[in-house]
Amino acid sequence: MKHHLFGRHAAVLALAAAMLAFSPAHAQNREPVSGDRATDMAVDLVVVRPLGIVATVIGTAGFILALPFTLPTGSTGDTAHEWIGAPLEYTFNRPLGNFDTCGADRHPCGKR
């Protein structure tokens, strides 16, 4: 039973890591990723946004675990931004189907 539970957590972590690794480099041009804007929107809604929520939850847990190491070094703000703020922004502050820019000013996702 323990191996099954560990496997499930490992799969979620791997999925979240893959999402974070590939999302910023997804599309530098303004062309639809799939070739069709409606498909991009559907994939974003059904796959990418839920993965963003998972990444935010995992990042929050990691941030809490890292606090004993980030507080003495003064890197708590940077860690919070990278592990919680960037996934939150990518999930909730970007137009549906647009994988490279966030916010009303359309800045690159994850950048301050």
Res 27: pLDDT: 41
- Per the confidence metrics, is the pTM higher than 0.75? no
CB neighbour class for 25 (10 Å; exposed up to 12, middle 13-18, buried from 19):
exposed
pLDDT digits (tens, 9 = 90+) for 2-46: 555 455 555 544 444 445 444 444 444 567 787 788 999 999 999
Q: Map residue 31 onto helix, strand or coil.
A: coil
Residues 6+ apart with CB under 8 A from 51: 15, 16, 19
